[in-house]
Amino acid sequence: MTDDRTAREGFLHELAQTSVLAEIWQHFPENMFLIRVEGPDFVVEASNAKMEQLFAQDCTGRRLHDILPWPVAEQVVAHYRDCLRQDAPLRYEEHAAFRDGDGVEKEGHWLTLLLPVHDTQGAITHLFGISQDVTELRLAREDLERYSHNLEAVVEERTQALNQANREFEEANRRLEKLASCDPLTGVGNRRHFQARAESEMERARRHGSPLSLLMFDLDGFKRINDEVGHAAGDAMLKRVTASAQATLRDADLLGRYGGDEFVVLLPHTPLADARRMAERLQARVQERADISISVGAAGFLADDTHLEHLVHRADTELLAAKRTRAER
């Protein structure tokens, strides 16, 4: 111990020769220490006031394993050995928990810079270190990481909720669009929807010079069904007729309910002669499946048809003529 004390006093004496270094050593706000390398052991040769305050004792002449708990000392010494092996400055962060000289439990994080000190022959005799207490910074960083993690979780939760709300909103829009475009009883396009689609098909036929035809049909004696059997029976009949017509038409054909028991069918790329044959198939299929006859009128698209009503009018005129012919029989 006397030799250690003498060495420390010699070190401080050398510092005292340079007042600036002595001032730094005594008042530096972070831990400063000089470790003597003694074979496998590391002995504290000198420490500044800040480090003595940390350990609440004079550590001069003591091995690290005598000051710190064995696992903690091994952790610290491992860094010292790395510095010796590399023979270069080493910077690292370490965590330690120990009891100081007064028996007070202490725990924290320190950022340490370790420098090898050589003698005149180039051998490493000491390790000089500066250790900065970064416990508050580390805890603040951990708090920030926890906050960031929690924030990410909240953002993810809110994002999922927003995506779900968007999906529900889009689904609601689809339902509203369907309600706005479909006849609620039969499920086919309503008059407004049919008109919009038909006008578009007419413009395409006009631009490309392709044929286009329209059929209009209604149910024979439908008023009598409502009056004698009831509107529920009439609604059921409209559904059966619609299903029969859809089963007969092609995928490209457009079926719509025009009003009451009146239905219209748009037949793209279809000349009037082929449309009349389709009308005959519709009549046969509806009679077979729905057990009711329908009257059908047909009209072909003409170059001067500027509105859908032009086709509807001609098809409706033919439909009325077919009804009169049927009534006369």
pLDDT single digits (tens) 290-329: 999 999 999 999 988 989 999 999 999 999 999 888 777 6
Residue 216 belongs to domain with CATH number: 3.30.70.270
Q: Are 63 and 125 in a shared domain?
A: yes
CA dihedral 246, 249, 253, 255 (to 10 degrees): -30
Tokens of 28: 């530096």
- Is residue 121 in a domain? yes
- Is residue 54 in a domain? yes
Widest Cα–Cα separation across the chain: 139
Residue 289, SS3?
A: helix
Side chain identity at residue 43, one-letter code: V
Backbone angles phi, psi at 119, to 5 degrees: -90, -175
Query: What is the DSSP annotation of 37-89?
Result: EETTEEEEEEE-HHHHHHHTS--TT-BHHHHS-HHHHHHHHHHHHHHHHHTS-
Neighbours of 114 (CB within 10 A): 22
Which among 218, 261, 305, 316 is annotated as catalytic? Answer: 261
pLDDT number for residue 11: 62
* Domain span holding position 17: 2-133
Tokens of 188: 């086919």
pTM of the model: 0.52
Q: Are 196 and 173 in a shared domain?
A: no
Q: Are 96 and 167 in a shared domain?
A: no
pLDDT number for residue 143: 85
Tokens of 212: 């286009």
- Is residue 310 in a domain? yes
Find out whether 35 and 62 touch, Cβ atoms under 8 Å: no
Determine the Cα–Cα distance for residues 318 and 2; give it in Å rounded to an integer.
128
Q: Known catalytic residue: 261?
A: yes
Those residues of the chain that have pLDDT short of 50 are none
Residue 87 belongs to domain with CATH number: 3.30.450.20
Of the candidates 152, 181, 210, which is a domain's last residue? 181
Q: Are 8 and 68 in a shared domain?
A: yes
Residue 260, SS3?
A: coil
pLDDT number for residue 8: 61
Domain count, the chain: 3
Q: What are residue 189's DSSP bridge partners?
A: 182, 256
Q: Are 213 and 199 in a shared domain?
A: yes
Determine the Cα–Cα distance for residues 4 and 44; give it in Å rounded to an integer.
9
pLDDT number for residue 262: 95
Determine the Cα–Cα distance for residues 62 and 59; give it in Å rounded to an integer.
6
Tokens of 301: 């698209």
pLDDT number for residue 166: 86
Find out whether 131 and 33 touch, Cβ atoms under 8 Å: yes
